Amino acid sequence: MNGELNSRPVAKNELRLVSRLRLDEAQAAALLRAMREGNASRRAVVLSPRAPVDYTPPFLCAARSAFPWLPERVWLPADEATPTACEDYARGMYYVLDLSSCWEGAALSALTEPPRRSIDLCAAPGGKTLLLAAQFPLHDHTANEVHAARRGILRHNVELCGLSNTRVTGLRPDQWAESGKKFDLLLVDAPCSGQSLLCKGIKNPGCLGASAVQGNAKRQRGIMLCAVRCAAPGAHLLYTTCTYDPEENERVIAYILRRVPGWRAVEIPALAPFRSSLCDFPAYRLLPHHGAGAGGFCCLLRETESPES
């Protein structure tokens, strides 16, 4: 970068991010432009269990061919469509998300069998739980959210969207770790610095700063250390964020793989084109200029050491 983008100086924190991501000049400029312009958001609609198998949304949808990884019960509203204005939205037939959340949810396509006992540890407002329900029947699912107000929204969405076999809880990750309960699928959609919010035009001051990134990374490592303690033999753990900095992504996973024996990151064939070049294990990152929403990170871990796994 020559220190300028569209005749505005590139800030120190912006430069720090693109150099940590080891982007070439064109990619760096594309990322910074997306963060400054704030219009990289792209909507997607996830059908809920209320929608019959042959349901088609009551609004115009775009072709899905550019997104081969898109889970089946996810549709792409056309630019002019207003899915949240339709009666079916109020009836809980579908839920609206940024396409990058669906990209993260597509990691679940690598599961070898439907989970018997699953938990979404950071669940509100419920997007990842809905993406799970769109791909597998929920047998025994826990949607957990520590913040009471957000838990209320989560409970509302779980009920509205007709998620069966799902309980809403509010324990902290360390309380789950102490509980002795075990799950064969854990979702950790971690609280993060939310750098991708900038690409959706949402103000998020300080999200590029070292203290926000380091503070979030510390919290993420703590949540993950608790999550692995809730894993049944052979369990899968999907870690996702909506931020770009490697400290909150690849380095959190590297820390867990170093600290906790018996875990490995597994390949997600559907996301192969997005494999991160910042680590030597399979992890995936989406950037706004990939054209699938604001961006994110995902890595699927598997417990492999227990005799039963």
Ligand X SMILES: C[S@@+](CC[C@H](N)C(=O)[O-])C[C@H]1O[C@@H](n2cnc3c(N)ncnc32)[C@H](O)[C@@H]1O
**Sites of contact with ligand X (CB under 6 A):** 101, 121-128, 145-147, 150, 172-173, 189, 191, 219, 223
**Least distance CB 102 / ligand X (angstroms):** 10
Shorter beta-carbon distance to ligand X: residue 32 or 198: 198
Question: Are 297 and 241 in contact, with CB atoms under 8 Å apart?
Answer: yes
168 is written with which tokens? 């809403």
Question: Smallest distance from the beta carbon of 22 to ligand X, in angstroms?
Answer: 25
Instruction: Specify burial of residue 16 (Cβ count, 10 A radius: 0-12, 13-18, 19+).
Output: middle
Output 10 or 241, the one with its CB closest to ligand X.
Answer: 241
Choice between 216 and 276, CB closer to ligand X:
216
Query: Structure tokens of 178?
Result: 């102490």
Burial 283-298 (b: 16+ CB within 10 A, else e): bbbbbbbbebbbbbbb
Closest CA to 93 of 161, 148, 45, 38: 161
Just list the catalytic residues.
Answer: 242
Residues 6+ apart with CB under 8 A from 130: 46, 48, 95, 97, 157, 161, 163
Minimum Å gap between C-beta 131 and ligand X is: 7
* Alpha-carbon dihedral angle through residues 152, 157, 162, 168, given to the nearest 10 degrees: -40
- In angstroms, what is the minimal distance from the CB of 32 to ligand X? 23
CA distance 249 to 240: 8
Least Cβ distance, residue 60 to ligand X (angstroms): 25
